[in-house]
Amino acid sequence: MSDTVLNVQSLTAGYVPGLPILKDVNMCLGRGEIVAVIGPNGAGKSTLIKAIAGLVLVEEGTIMLGARNLVGIRPDEMAIFGIAYVPQTNNIFRTLTIRQNLMLAAKRSDGLVDDLIERMFTLFEILRGKQMDKGGKLSGGQRQMLAIAMALVAEPKLILMDEPTAGLAPKVAEEILSLVQDIAEKGVSVIFVEQNVKAALSISNRTYVLAEGRNQIDGSTQELMEGQVIKEIYLGDRRIET
Amino acid sequence: MIQNLFDGILVGSILSLGAIGLTMVMHMLRFANFSHAELLSVGAYVTFVFDKLLESMVPAFSQAFGGLSLTFSLIFAIILSMGVTGVSAIIIDWLVFRRIRDSAGPLSMVFASFGVALIVRNLISLIFGLKPKLYSEEITFAVRVSLDPLILIKLDQVFVLCMALVIMLIFHFVLSRTTFGYALKAVSENPTLSQINGVHLALMIRLIWLIGGGLAAVAGVFYGLNNQVSFLMGNNLVLSLFAAVIVGGIGSIYGAVVGGFLVGLASNMALLILPSGYKPAVPFLIILFILSIRPTGLFGEKK
């Protein structure tokens, strides 16, 4: 793949040493590409993006961002390398105001902060009027928007999203997915975990199917949609052979 | 009654300063640190040592400000003591709590904090003796504010109250107007999310110990200025500090401030209707009362 942003090779990782959740996982991602990670519960989807974000212990393998191996880098240093992570839940600070959330996430104290925050309010107009409200007062969809804004305000090269539409009303979920497409069109790469497979496939360029911590199927979304296995999993709820 | 009210506010301001550090540590490191109150003793005694040292090195510094026990040497000693006590808190964490945090649960941390409290308290009595100390041997007289009702106020008390309020205002400014303040609140609320947002967690833990220790030192000195410096100071204040934190809501810095004033006021106002022997029970009554209305404390967030 040309213009590769991220290359994960033979990744073995988990929460407890010696008990890996991910086993020998590979993944590749280009600039401005949207990659969906799907699979059954407990497949290791969230663990994979947590491992990339530096939140999970990596036992083996490499996570190359360009020429730099990210293994061993602290989560707070990931922003320096242009990686932002949006957790599924508890992804904003409820006790800080919306503006304070964005100021903290911007990770800089120069004069550009106000410009960056203004850009976020242009993108998420609904947050502008609530900027002095505490994060805890926002609705589920607004929280998700703020969480994405917190990731974008740091001007990342790569955004990792854990189930960005979970628990949202269908219309709001649609807005979020459309937003993910807009982000990618601006050259930011996105990896997102999604339970709603149809929604995931509708916006992704490439899809990885994980089961029991291993790669099962991967390829361009177009190819996978045409293939028999994905169709069967959709329609017949067939369990993937491992 | 007004006298009790004033005394309550004064004690409340001291408790608030001590409770800020305790609530930050309790929320962020997820354990009840029973050794925190001993940092008040450490701060008070370290100030005592620096005060005497500075007085002997620069005799001009021993001149008291009119009507106050306060001297230049004491002011410098407080500043130095804040740093030393903060660093002591970091060292205690590094020697004891960090190791337990890495290998055991919060309950082990609580028991360890009892051990640390005992060690610190006994070390202080070993070094400084059992006899309480005074920052100044000079007798300072109370000023009669009113004859009926009789209200007596020492200038030291006014100074302590004003300084405590100024420190709390500065802390409020830091929390509400600076990115560092946002990071402090963020770490208290959600350590993992704050890491994702670029906050260096290990550094913030050290800073929280430093700030908590520094504020505890000031609280210890202020308590010592109005009473005396004793190795039992921490032991005497520990339950009131916990009451302030629990009443305010664990993790809420503003809650700790309000909780401190509430406990201080209630303890002193209770003297109007209860014999003084019951004073230590008042913080528990306040805890019971507040928690029966709001189980998360006044400013605590529901899970």
**pLDDT over 80 at A31, yes or no:** yes
- Residue A37 binned pLDDT confidence (cut-offs 50, 70, 90): very high
User: Residue range A35-53: average pLDDT?
Assistant: 93
Query: How far is B198 from chain A, CA to nearest CA, in Å?
Result: 4
Q: Of the ranges A79-83, A92-96, A216-220, which one carries the lowest mean pLDDT score?
A: A216-220
Q: What is the CA radius of gyration of chain A?
A: 18
pLDDT, residue B160, reads 81
Q: Which residue has the tokens 């903290």?
A: A104
**pLDDT over 70 at B302, yes or no:** no
The per-residue pLDDT for range B154-213, each reduced to its tens digit, is 777 788 888 888 888 898 898 888 889 999 889 888 889 999 999 999 999 999 999 999
Q: Which residues of A touch B185 (CB under 8 A)?
A: 93, 95-96
Q: Which residue has the tokens 């730099």?
A: A68
Let me know the angle formed at the C-alpha of A180 by A88 and A91, rounded to the nearest 5 degrees.
Answer: 25
Q: Which residues of B touch A91 (CB under 8 A)?
A: 193
Considering Cα of A149, then A153, then A155, then A160, what sign does the dihedral take? negative
**pLDDT over 70 at B142, yes or no:** no
- Residue B140 binned pLDDT confidence (cut-offs 50, 70, 90): low
Q: Which residues of B touch A93 (CB under 8 A)?
A: 182, 185-186, 189-190, 193-194
| Nearest-angstrom CA–CA distance, A76 and A72 | 12
Whole-prediction pTM:
0.82
| Nearest-angstrom CA–CA distance, A59 and A12 | 6
| Nearest-angstrom CA–CA distance, A157 and A6 | 10
| Nearest-angstrom CA–CA distance, B1 and B269 | 7
What is the secondary structure of A37-97 as a DSSP string?
Answer: EE-STTSSHHHHHHHHTT-SEEEEEEEEETTEE-TT--GGGGGGGTEEEE-SSS-S-TTSB
Average model confidence (pLDDT) across chain B:
87
User: Residue range A78-84: average pLDDT?
Assistant: 91
pLDDT, residue A235, reads 42
The per-residue pLDDT for range B209-231, each reduced to its tens digit, is 999 999 999 999 989 988 889 99
pLDDT, residue A46, reads 94
**pLDDT over 80 at A74, yes or no:** yes
pLDDT, residue A35, reads 95
Considering Cα of A187, then A189, then A193, then A196, what sign does the dihedral take? positive
**Contact state of A76 with B193 under an 8 Å Cβ cutoff:** no
| Nearest-angstrom CA–CA distance, B12 and B6 | 10
Query: How far is A28 from chain B, CA to nearest CA, in Å?
Result: 22
**Amino acid letter, B35:** S
pLDDT, residue B253, reads 83
Q: Which residues of B touch A90 (CB under 8 A)?
A: 190, 193
The per-residue pLDDT for range B80-130, each reduced to its tens digit, is 999 999 999 999 999 999 889 878 888 899 999 999 999 999 999 999 999
Which position has the higher pLDDT, A136 or A1? A136
Question: Which of B182, B192, B197 is nearest residue A150 as measured by Cβ atoms?
Answer: B197
3-state secondary structure of B81: helix
pLDDT, residue A120, reads 92
Question: Which of B188, B190, B199 is nearest residue A76 as measured by Cβ atoms?
Answer: B199
**Contact state of B190 with A90 under an 8 Å Cβ cutoff:** yes
Q: Which two tokens stand for residue A84?
A: 């932002």
Q: Of the ranges A60-69, A165-174, A202-211, B90-99, which one carries the lowest mean pLDDT score?
A: A165-174
**pLDDT over 70 at A225, yes or no:** yes
Correct CATH for A4-236 of 3.10.20.90, 3.40.50.300, 3.40.190.10, 3.20.20.140: 3.40.50.300
pLDDT, residue A240, reads 53
**pLDDT over 50 at B11, yes or no:** yes
Q: Of the ranges A60-74, A128-142, B274-288, which one carries the lowest mean pLDDT score?
A: B274-288
pLDDT, residue A150, reads 94
User: Residue range A139-156: average pLDDT?
Assistant: 92
Q: Which residues of B touch A52 (CB under 8 A)?
A: none
Question: Which of A76, A94, A96 is nearest residue B195 as measured by Cβ atoms?
Answer: A76
Let me know the angle formed at the C-alpha of B127 by B124 and B128, rounded to the nearest 5 degrees.
Answer: 80
Q: Which residue of B has its CA nearest to A152?
A: B197
